[in-house]
């Protein structure tokens, strides 16, 4: 294997990095000393491009500048035999334009490895319209021989992974720039709400703000989708030289250039010194999965809870489901029998909302229908004592729509739990333009007491998580409907390339395609961005009754599994 750097000093540094990395691998017992010696013996590093003349495959990894890559490929075309395959490692630039600098475009393709290369399994094998099929097949086989998972991709900006990832990162940057939420809350929301390994702003710092802007510029040039136009803050950070971890500062500030340790990051939601109201007893309205999960959260934290439903029988059934859930926790060793009994004893099922008159806080968890919620809030306004906090768990409807059904909108707030509520740590705390500061403080404090992680945001469609998650899912559906990649390849790419716990189509089938379509429509109606319009394929599947796991068929056929 021959490594070629720009000059002698760069070659020496590259070889030193390889020696250091392999020494660490030996120290961690991932390699033996003998294997390291044999590996280093197979590597030569120099600075003369002519050394590539004897290679069967040359992989280019120079900086992301099209003209620079074209110059390198033109020179490689001159140096290398006609049988040599030339591959570019570009993350976003046109492979076709790079190939056009050679006289062998049929033997040029993209091999997009992911960083760190020695641990990341994914390789995107990018074919142009001129790449010979056998060349792409041989490249995929080569990736498999390296222990990698090749995913085929066509030559368009971002390919599969970056085409989906960077639009999401861009919207997170724009969300932060608009001061809708803090950087810490945006990152925590996506980590805790979606199970992602990193928040989007921390990931932008890791990737490099300049790299992200380059990728987005390439995507926008091709798509002309405003959602791909780099958020202005990215250009401002680049102009200031604040490129992320590599410079020691980007969205966050780091101990030193290259360090992963942040300094000056907030440790929790801002409360501005406002004291909250006292909460001793809680009411939860609803008898479904979310309602019983929220009741479980409060009861396990020691709060007396009134579980209110339309009728005593429904309330009793909901408490029975709660008992089953607690019993499962005991069986798994997460609760003791005494803790189960104590939690159950704190829950009182009631069949009339009038019985909530004396509680300090009510959480509404009924159907996701604004008319239904407004009717309930009007009822609560009439029966619950003055000064009580009224919270809605809506995931997509305007909180102000619930608040305006009452005579006390200052007491109304969003408290968006994630499903399953007992397991998911995140709660989005959504204040309207009328929510009183002490109501926000009350809910933030309560979330902390019940061992949840609250994040603050304003009352706009999608809040933090859904506003960032569902456009990404919608983009994946568009990618599929354009026949750019398959369901399995897209899911594999996002799991292996980004470390996501589920691919977009796995997640869509779990969430429910009808639920996803509703949220997409709400986002599009709120922001009026053409790029947020629901993908036609998603609408067609919902119309056909293919709603995901709950119907046995969505993007995959679950009935046959």
- Residues marked active site are found at 395, 416, 428, 466
User: Are residues 387 and 309 in contact, defined by beta-carbon separation less than 8 angstroms?
Assistant: no
CA torsion sign for 62, 66, 67, 73 is: positive
Considering only CA atoms, which of 299, 298, 314 is closest in space to residue 351? Answer: 314
Give every CB contact of residue 411 below 8 A, 6+ residues apart in sequence. Answer: 387, 388, 389, 390, 436, 439
In the chain, count H helices and then E strands.
21, 17
What residues are paired with 3 via a beta bridge? Answer: 45
Backbone angles phi, psi at 402, to 5 degrees: -75, -45
- Cα(62)–Cα(90) distance, integer angstroms: 8
Give every CB contact of residue 227 below 8 A, 6+ residues apart in sequence. Answer: 167, 170, 171, 471, 529, 531, 532
Considering only CA atoms, which of 91, 114, 33 is closest in space to residue 498? Answer: 114
- Cα(160)–Cα(342) distance, integer angstroms: 50
Backbone angles phi, psi at 536, to 5 degrees: -55, -35
* Residue tagged 């334009």 (tokens): 97
What residues are paired with 154 via a beta bridge? Answer: 127
In 128-270, which ranges are E strands? 149-154, 253-254, 262-263
Q: Which two tokens stand for residue 206?
A: 């890791």
Cα atoms in the Cβ-side hemisphere of radius 13 Å centred on 243: 13
- Cα(253)–Cα(240) distance, integer angstroms: 14
Three-state SS at 558: coil
Q: Which two tokens stand for residue 199?
A: 């928040």
Considering only CA atoms, which of 340, 349, 320, 303 is closest in space to residue 452? Answer: 303
User: Are residues 454 and 443 in contact, defined by beta-carbon separation less than 8 angstroms?
Assistant: yes
């Amino acid at each position: 294997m021959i490594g070629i750097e720009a000059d002698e000093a760069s070659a020496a540094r590259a070889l030193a990095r390889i020696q250091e990395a392999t020494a660490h691998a030996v120290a961690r017992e991932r390699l033996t000393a003998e294997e390291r010696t044999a590996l280093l013996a197979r590597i030569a590093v120099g600075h003369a491009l002519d050394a590539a003349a004897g290679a069967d495959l040359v992989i280019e990894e120079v900086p992301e500048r099209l003209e620079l890559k074209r110059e390198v490929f033109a020179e490689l075309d001159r140096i290398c035999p006609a049988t040599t395959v030339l591959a570019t490692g570009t993350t976003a630039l046109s492979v076709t334009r790079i190939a056009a600098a050679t006289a062998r475009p049929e033997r040029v393709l993209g091999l997009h490895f992911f960083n760190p290369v020695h641990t990341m399994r994914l390789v995107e094998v990018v074919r142009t319209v001129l790449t010979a099929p056998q060349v792409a097949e041989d490249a995929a086989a080569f990736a498999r021989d390296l222990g990698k998972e090749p995913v085929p991709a066509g030559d368009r900006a971002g390919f599969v992974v970056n085409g989906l990832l960077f639009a999401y990162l861009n919207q997170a940057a724009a969300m932060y720039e608009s001061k809708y939420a803090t950087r810490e809350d945006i990152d925590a929301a996506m980590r805790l709400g979606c199970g992602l390994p990193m928040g989007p702003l921390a990931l932008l710092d890791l990737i490099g703000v300049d790299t992200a802007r380059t990728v987005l510029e390439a995507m926008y040039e091709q798509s002309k989708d405003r959602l791909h136009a780099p958020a202005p803050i990215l250009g401002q950070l680049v102009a200031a030289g604040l490129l992320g971890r590599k410079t020691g500062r980007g969205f966050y500030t780091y101990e030193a250039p290259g360090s992963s340790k942040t300094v000056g990051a907030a440790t929790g939601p801002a409360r501005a010194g406002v004291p909250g109201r006292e909460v001793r007893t809680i009411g939860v309205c609803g008898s479904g999965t979310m309602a019983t999960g929220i009741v479980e959260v409060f009861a396990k934290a020691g709060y007396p809870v009134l579980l209110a439903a339309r009728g005593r029988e429904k309330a009793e059934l909901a408490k029975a489901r709660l008992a089953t859930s607690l019993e499962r926790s005991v069986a798994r060793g997460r609760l003791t029998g005494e803790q189960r009994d104590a939690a159950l004893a704190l829950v009182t099922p009631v069949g009339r909302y009038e019985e909530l008159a004396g509680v300090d806080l009510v959480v509404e968890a009924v159907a996701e229908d604004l008319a239904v919620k407004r009717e309930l809030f009007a009822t609560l306004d009439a029966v619950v004592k003055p000064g009580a906090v009224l919270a809605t768990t809506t995931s997509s409807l305007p909180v102000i729509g619930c608040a305006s059904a009452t005579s006390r909108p200052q007491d109304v707030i969003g408290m968006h739990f994630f499903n399953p509520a007992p397991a998911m740590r995140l709660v989005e705390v959504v204040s309207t333009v009328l929510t009183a500061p002490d109501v926000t403080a009350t809910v933030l404090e309560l979330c902390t007491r019940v061992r949840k992680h609250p994040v603050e945001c304003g009352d706009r469609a999608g809040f933090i998580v859904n506003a960032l998650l569902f456009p990404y899912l919608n983009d994946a559906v568009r990618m599929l409907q354009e026949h750019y990649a398959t369901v399995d390849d897209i899911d594999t790419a996002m799991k292996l390339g980004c470390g996501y716990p589920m691919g977009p189509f796995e997640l869509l089938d779990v969430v429910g395609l009808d639920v996803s379509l509703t949220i997409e429509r709400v986002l599009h109606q709120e922001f009026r961005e053409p790029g947020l319009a629901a993908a036609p394929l998603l609408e067609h599947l919902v119309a056909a009754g293919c709603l995901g796991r709950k119907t046995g068929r969505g993007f995959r056929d679950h009935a046959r599994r």
